[in-house]
Amino acid sequence: MPCMLKVDSPAQHLLDCLYMKEIKIPYILRLASILISLVLLVMMLFYLKVVMVPLFFSIIFAIMLFPVCMRLEKWGIGRGFSSFITVFLGTLILGFLLYTLFVQLSNFATQIPQVTARLSAFIDEVRDFMVKKFSMTKSAAGNKIKEQLAILQNNGGAMLTHSLSTVSALLINAFLIPLYVFFLLFYRHFFIEFFYKVFASSDRTIIDETILKISGVVKGYLFGQFLDVLIIGIVNSFALYLIGVGYPIILGFCISVFCIIPYIGMIIGSILALVTAFITTTSEWQPLTALMVLWIIHIIDSNLISPMVIGSRVDINPLMGIFMLFLFGELWGLPGLFLAFPLTAILKVIFDTVPALKPYGFLLGEPEKYHLKRYSLVHIKRLHSIVQKRKTRIGTEGITPSTQANKSGTNSAA
């Protein structure tokens, strides 16, 4: 049926016709296209892990270092030299932290004989426990333990090979990531124009606001996490030192770094602290005391310190946070656990900007207060009925882009 509308041009006539009669795509086709796209995306992220992980880390580091680069440019230094100085200073700071970690690990390596003696005593205690509880002879219990140790020794070669490959990958990334960060800072306006060309039909103001929102979310989250790790690392180290646990500095900061991984990081850190305390202490109360104190510190951090230094910069509900955490962890391993929340925050900003993806941004975000009340379903139905009535009223009035433009032109002329 032709559109009987008076328009100024054929192009405007076509737009009004498309506006009034949308092309209906069958639901089964839309569902199939969405599922195929998701499968292809997950496969791409999995098989391109070696390429994607350094790139995403580089983007995050570039966002963190961007204020330093801007400050140097305001002082009259060229963009290329400012980018180089920024990357060089960031690499120096990260190298110093890694050197400190290496020194602590070296100190731990010098005391391996004492740790081995403590571990041998622990094996003897386990053997005696097995003899008493399971009516086993000491030789049988010893054989069981020796079998497990033999399995570990047999797997030692594979573990060494895996460790060498991991170290080589780290060395490659240690060269690639600073290089990526430099070019991301140096070519930043080039990439902004690329986004202008890709989304040519969108308003450039919206593109700029989206980039600023992504930058603000990532910077706020990472700087907040850094400050939180620093505070909790100091508190953990001091508490472990007072309890008498060995290597309090490296252990305290390792636990605080593991806590960056939401929900499961503290569980891993607790196991590490319990094992280290059991090996490096001589009494039974010290490991349990260390575990209890660390959990008290973690609870205070989660409910008081972390909301103050991080705030609501990453507005993601816990259910979707856990899902994204395990998804990226399954795709990329340990780096995926650290990248999960920043990437999810970036996705939420993009979803909230694109009208067709706003429902998915809503799903990632925190529920509103009315969602948690007793009669929340009644409130939601009433709210959606009001929205539906407004849509129906607008549809019956027959508002099109041309009529909206004519109304706006009339109002401006008046």
φ/ψ (deg, to 5) at 207: -65, -45
> What was the pLDDT predicted at 99?
80
Angle (deg, nearest 10), helices 265-280 and 112-134: 100
> What was the pLDDT predicted at 3?
47
Residue type at 3?
C
pLDDT tens digit sequence for 335-389: 888 888 888 888 888 888 888 888 888 888 887 777 777 767 776 777 777 767 7
Cα 139 from Cα 137, distance rounded (Å): 5
> What was the pLDDT predicted at 186?
93
Q: Which two tokens stand for residue 371?
A: 């969602």
Measured CA angle at 53 (ends 55, 365), to 5 deg: 95
Residues 6+ apart with CB under 8 A from 80: 186
Nearest in space to 138 (alpha carbons), one of 153, 148, 119, 123: 123
- Flag residues of the chain having pLDDT under 50: 1-7, 11, 14-15, 18-21, 153, 156-160, 163-164, 400-414
Cα 260 from Cα 263, distance rounded (Å): 9
> What was the pLDDT predicted at 405?
45
Residue 303 DSSP class: I
Yes or no: say if 255 and 272 are a contact pair by the CB < 8 Å rule. yes
For residue 406, give the H/E element and its range: helix 401-413
> What was the pLDDT predicted at 113?
66
pLDDT tens digit sequence for 165-191: 555 566 667 788 899 999 999 999 999
| pTM (two decimals) | 0.70
Yes or no: say if 235 and 297 are a contact pair by the CB < 8 Å rule. yes
> What was the pLDDT predicted at 180?
92
Per-domain residue ranges for the chain?
27-186
